[in-house]
Amino acid sequence: MDIEFLDDTSLSESQIATSDQSLEDHSSDWGTMPGEEHPPDVVVWPESTEDVSSVLAAANDRGIPVTPYAAGTSLEGHAVPVEGGISMNMTRMDDVLDVRPDDFQIDVQPGILGSVVDETVAEHGLFFPPLPSSGKISTIGGMIANDASGMQTVKYGEIHDWVLRLEAVLADGTVIETGSRASKTSAGYNLMDLLVGSEGTLAVVTEATLELAGIPEQIWGGRVVFPNRTEASAAIADAVRSGVDVAKIELIDELSAAMANRYLDADLPDVPMAFVEFHANHHVESEIEFFRSILAGYEVEDVQIAESGPEMERLWEVREEMASALKQYDPDLTMLTSGDVTVPISKYAELIDHISTLEAEHDLEIPCFGHAGDGNIHYTVMVRRDDPDHRALGERVDAEIVHHAIELGGTCTGEHGVGRGKTAYLPEEFNQATVDTMGRIKETMDPNGILNPGKLF
């Protein structure tokens, strides 16, 4: 590809790279299986809305694909430039633009890391509740692109609940403003929530106003140990359905716990557990007592809940690093998928039982962990390396889990997004007319199809 057209943009030389290393660095993300990498023709690093706008306008005129890239932590291949063209690396646009503690608001550029937002507002006693577990290494822009969520979603909601306003650039370079710094608005179509979760296929976000919450005065947490997955998932679902005000409630199964022990020195029992956390400004013990009263109806081997301290912080670190521990699962096995199905909470135990049944039936290992309080599970089908038959079996089992989750009234992806990996499930989850409607909106907003082609559809 001839990149001379970039001379017409506001970019300087230091914002453009075509070295092999740069292209390789932008050819994959966390969700890319070996052999599925694809390099861009050029990488650009915009430093302003004007840069984004001028690159998009120039690319749009020429029909050149543009795939936004930031931390590369997407799990469904979102950031892979499957048709080449431009990889637009947003990480230089990582400024805090304004903090307004009186309004519980911060304005940021999209390339900022989630944890930097938290660090910036901590001095005001505030935090950004919906950060995903990857918040220390992933960017706000990426979270917006996927409508991410995290461990605290069970209490506080998803990314889209905490984004108040977006500035974004359309495919033709036009800058639009969506949402409001007011806490609510009914002014016109909600373009903001159309952009949130659109995976870089409708526009490139250049600025976001995020809402913040007050850091609770009391943070207590710990772990509950169960004899098996069935009992763990049933107890967790019951607690949520009973209205226990829990800030985090994660399922960690025996296989995940074993990996955490081996690779993260976690010192956990090798049995299914719930990791929990409670947030309150006063009388947190009353809520924990309520939680214990629900647990009393289940087989529970051990409950340890206490005021937050180093031990609990270590527990959450282990949870955050679970995905990387799983990557080292077994040298003979490779991770096939990163499951992300989510079902209504009343169906959660049934979903987990179904996974366990398939695991036994096909003699597979499928470690499971995730945001149980949301009805969300991250299951990972492990398959033998260089064994196409085993891989095919794993793929069939994975598809069966997704089909079953959709049958239970659930979704193929609770927070990871569609990317390349989940496109086939959309017509099943909605209907074909709905997916066609999404397609028409894509065509309207990006008529030349330059924005992250090959994803979501």
SS3 content of the chain, % helix, strand, coil (to 5): 40, 20, 40
Footprint of a second copy on 344-403 (CB under 8 A): 344-346, 374-376
Q: Which stretch binds a second copy (CB under 8 A): 43-51, 359-367, 382-390, 418-426?
A: 418-426
CA angle 282, 154, 204 (to 5 degrees): 120
Closest distance to a second copy from the beta carbon of 198 (Å)? 6
Closest distance to a second copy from the beta carbon of 206 (Å)? 13
Q: Which stretch binds a second copy (CB under 8 A): 58-66, 264-272, 392-400, 422-430?
A: 422-430
Closest distance to a second copy from the beta carbon of 193 (Å)? 4
Closest distance to a second copy from the beta carbon of 339 (Å)? 13
Q: Which stretch binds a second copy (CB under 8 A): 5-13, 291-299, 300-308, 428-436?
A: 428-436
**Residue of 25, 231, 387, 429 interacting with a second copy (CB under 8 A):** 429
Q: Which stretch binds a second copy (CB under 8 A): 34-42, 294-302, 316-324, 343-351?
A: 343-351
Binding-site size, a second copy (CB under 8 A): 85
Closest distance to a second copy from the beta carbon of 343 (Å)? 6
Footprint of a second copy on 48-87 (CB under 8 A): none
Nearer to a second copy, 234 or 255 (CB): 234
Structure tokens at 261: 């022990």
Closest distance to a second copy from the beta carbon of 73 (Å)? 14
- Rounded Cα distance between 312 and 418, Å, is 33
Residues 6+ apart with CB under 8 A from 257: 266, 268, 269, 270, 271, 272, 273
3-class SS of residue 439: helix
Closest distance to a second copy from the beta carbon of 196 (Å)? 7
Binding string, residues 176-195; x marks residues near a second copy by CB under 8 A: xxx-xxxxxxxxxxxx-xx-
Nearer to a second copy, 45 or 291 (CB): 291
Nearer to a second copy, 309 or 409 (CB): 409
DSSP letter assigned to residue 346: G
Query: Does 264 contact a second copy by CB under 8 A?
Result: no
Footprint of a second copy on 191-220 (CB under 8 A): 191, 193-194, 196-198, 202, 214
- Rounded Cα distance between 380 and 266, Å, is 20
**Residue of 33, 57, 96, 175 interacting with a second copy (CB under 8 A):** 175
Give the count of alpha carbons within 13 A of 61, CB side only: 11
Footprint of a second copy on 233-252 (CB under 8 A): 241, 243, 245
Rg over CA atoms, the chain: 22
Backbone angles phi, psi at 213, to 5 degrees: -125, 160
Distance (Å) of CA 50 to CA 55, 81, 101, 250, 251? 8, 22, 28, 42, 45
Q: Which stretch binds a second copy (CB under 8 A): 15-23, 85-93, 173-181, 357-365?
A: 173-181
Q: Which stretch binds a second copy (CB under 8 A): 38-46, 224-232, 314-322, 437-445?
A: 437-445
Closest distance to a second copy from the beta carbon of 301 (Å)? 26
Query: Does 104 contact a second copy by CB under 8 A?
Result: yes
Q: Which stretch binds a second copy (CB under 8 A): 56-64, 255-263, 283-291, 297-305?
A: 283-291
Footprint of a second copy on 134-163 (CB under 8 A): 146-149, 153, 157-158, 160-161
Distance (Å) of CA 11 to CA 4, 94, 451? 12, 17, 19
Nearer to a second copy, 40 or 414 (CB): 414
- Rounded Cα distance between 377 and 400, Å, is 15
Nearer to a second copy, 128 or 425 (CB): 425
Nearer to a second copy, 90 or 171 (CB): 171
Terminus-to-terminus CA distance in the chain, angstroms?
A: 25
Closest distance to a second copy from the beta carbon of 405 (Å)? 8
- Rounded Cα distance between 403 and 400, Å, is 5
- Rounded Cα distance between 343 and 142, Å, is 24
- Rounded Cα distance between 316 and 328, Å, is 19
Distance (Å) of CA 375 to CA 160, 247, 297, 358, 411? 18, 14, 20, 19, 10
Residues 6+ apart with CB under 8 A from 36: 28, 77, 80, 420
Closest distance to a second copy from the beta carbon of 105 (Å)? 7
Nearer to a second copy, 1 or 294 (CB): 294
In this structure, what is the dihedral angle of CA atoms 23, 27, 29, 33, given to the nearest 10 degrees? -150
Footprint of a second copy on 22-51 (CB under 8 A): none
